[in-house]
Homo-oligomer: A and B are copies of this chain.
Amino acid sequence: VTNLALDSDPGFRIGTVAAEAGTTTRTIRYYEEIGLLSAGDGRPKGGHRLYTREDVERVREIIRLRDVLGLSLDQLNQLFTLESERQQLKEEWAAASDSAEQRRILLAASACADAQLALVEERKTQLAILEREICDRRARIQDRITNL
């Protein structure tokens, strides 16, 4: 009875991931197709895709940035370039990375978060402008109603 601990986690199926992230299985497969999600290395042709808890979070983040910030999938790919680089260097990290290398990677991740925060601020400004416009229009309508 070997691999006792490892066998206990079968991983998430694509339908579960889609439900958790509020999207569809088609969308997840499409994101894999264009390279936004990792393809799951050793999957046999026709075999079921399996995902980790990290993958679920990744999908949720993509959906969020897409819907709330209105980013295209191409823009998201660019945003994640730094982080995917981090992903590739993860083995290096765990194995024998020096702290200078670790620092470099973490700073890249931090810069990625900063970039997202800048986009959030931009959206907040746009929303504020839109809100003011609508409020003004509403006020003018109310004026005309009271002046009847």
Give me the 4 closest cross-chain CB pairs, A-B, nearest first.
A113-B138, A110-B141, A68-B126, A106-B145
A69, A133, A134 interface centre (most CB from chain B within 10 Å): A134
Chain A residues at the B interface, C-beta cutoff of 8 Å:
64-65, 67-70, 99, 102-103, 106-107, 109-110, 113-114, 116-117, 120, 123-124, 126-127, 130-131, 133-135, 137-138, 141-142, 144-145, 148
Instruction: Decide: A138 near B117, CB < 8 A? Known: A103-B148, A145-B107, A145-B110.
Output: yes
Instruction: Decide: A131 near B135, CB < 8 A? Known: A102-B148, A106-B141.
Output: no
A125 to B, closest residue via Cβ: B68
